Amino acid sequence: MQSDYSLPHTEEPRVPISAVKRDPAFSALDRRSFLMCAMSAGAAGSIHQLARPLKAMPVWNNEQKQDDAQFTVEAQFYQKLPNKKVKCKLCPRECAVGDRERGYCGVRENRNGTYYSLVHSRVCAAHVDPIEKKPLFHYLPGTMAFSLATAGCNVNCKFCQNWNISQARPEQAPAQYVPPKRVAELAVQYRCPTIAYTYSEPVVFSEFLMDAADAGHEAGIRSIVVSNGYMQEEALRAAYGKMDAVKIDLKSFSESYYRNVVTGQLKPVLDSIVTLRKLDKWTEIVYLVVPTLNDSDVEFRGLARWVKQNVGADVPLHFTQFHPDYLLKNLPITPIPTLERARDIALAEGLHYVYIGNVPGHPAENTYCPQCRRMLVERVGLEIRQMLIHKGECPFCKHTIPGVWHV
């Protein structure tokens, strides 16, 4: 579920995965041309314009029937209970699942007392995206990420743009079998230094994510995850411990918002962010500002203070503009002054890198040195116009700018 600079906070694949190797027009597009094509689409573009999508996969026919067995692996994070029941230990829900039943996410099933993931290698969406779309602003800027998803999610955000896959069961989302080694090969083929697990919720396809990350690392490809962070610590350490960078969607700084709008809990997400920093994972945080629901000064200030105190002033924080979708079509787009107010509060509380997202061309898309205040990275939407950071430093005052700036 994730960010985009012409669309709301949740990235929107819209188009299912295609057989990439069968798309000669896409294959012929080099990375530089691809990025220029994306930028020329303009601020109002959808993902079809911002990142040339892979051709839509045809509906399964008699010659293309899915074999569910190839997508099914035993889950790694669960506990066996009496009477063929299991308790899932992947996320804080800890679903108690009876035989032949599934957990809340709909992608894990108890079969005779053994818990299975039904979405290993079951890719329902894939694109080559600018890494700025995740958004990751301090991690390999200007590069592309081979981005993929399976069906399913462990929450139900009322504003989700990707509800058609995040709230779908595996059988409802046309998919292709793309095993980990093939994922790595595609990333190499499209000259992407990273694989991004995104669009839906990677927590629920952790086994696939872990195997794909291993395959990617063997091929010299890094892995990044775009996640809600709603995960138990043991599973997070095992799965996201294999990631090279993480972007967490912190939906709100209010338990009631998480309960009523997200169908989750705030504290486990905060705990995940702290754990990721302890694991020394490069982490950025996105906060989707939803008018009337999580846009108070009190909440902005509490969030900024928590970030500074618990994970440090150098963790990038993105305030992104809400666009109505799914179950919140009655609310307006977030006013730009609200985003600017949120940023001003966070900066006043001592955070060093605070961004405004989904507003292409806004000066708060840029990276500024917190010491000399000079602009170091100029962005317009997903395009890097100017990159002045050299060897991780501000060239003007030599202040260290945290991040991973080169492949």
The predicted-structure confidence for 131-188, as pLDDT tens digits, reads as follows 999 999 999 999 999 999 999 999 999 999 999 999 999 999 999 999 999 999 999 9
- Indicate whether 191 pLDDT > 50: yes
pTM as predicted: 0.86
User: Distance between CA atoms of 318 and 271, rounded to whole angstroms?
Assistant: 19
Instruction: Kindly list the distances between the CA atom of residue 328 and the CA atoms of 7, 137, 236, 325, 358, in Å, as whole numbers in the listed order.
Output: 15, 28, 30, 6, 18
If pLDDT is split at 50, 70 and 90, which confidence band does 319 have?
A: very high
Q: Which domains does the chain have, with CATH numbers?
A: 20-53+123-387 (3.20.20.70), 72-117 (no CATH)
Q: Is the pLDDT of residue 15 over 70?
A: no
Instruction: Give the largest Cα separation in the chain, rounded.
Output: 67
pLDDT at 66: 59
CA angle, 353 then 223 then 72, to 5°:
135
**Closest alpha carbon to 281 in 221, 223, 241, 236:** 241
pLDDT value of residue 371: 98
Closest CA to 144 of 239, 58, 26: 26
Average pLDDT over residues 183-206: 98
Phi, psi of 102, deg, nearest 5: -120, 160
Cα–Cα distance list, 94 to 79, 115, 354, 367 (Å): 10, 13, 34, 40
Position 1 scores a pLDDT of 43
How many of the other CB atoms lie within 10 Å of CB of 269? Answer: 24
Which residues, in sequence order, are CB contacts of 40 under 8 Å at separation 6+? Answer: none
Closest CA to 20 of 48, 52, 54: 54
Of 43-57, 235-249, 274-288, the least confident: 43-57
Task: Tell me the mean pLDDT in the region 177-205.
Answer: 98
pLDDT at 367 over 70: yes
Predicted confidence band at 3 (pLDDT cuts at 50, 70, 90)? Answer: very low
C-alpha 390: how far from its chain's center? 27
CB 322 within 8 A of CB 293: no
Three-state SS at 398: coil
Residue type, 307: V
pLDDT digit string, tens, across residues 95-144: 999 999 999 999 999 999 999 999 999 999 999 999 999 999 999 999 99
- As a whole-number percent, the residues of the chain with pLDDT over 90 amount to 83
One-letter amino acid at 244 equals: D
Backbone angles phi, psi at 367, to 5 degrees: -100, 130
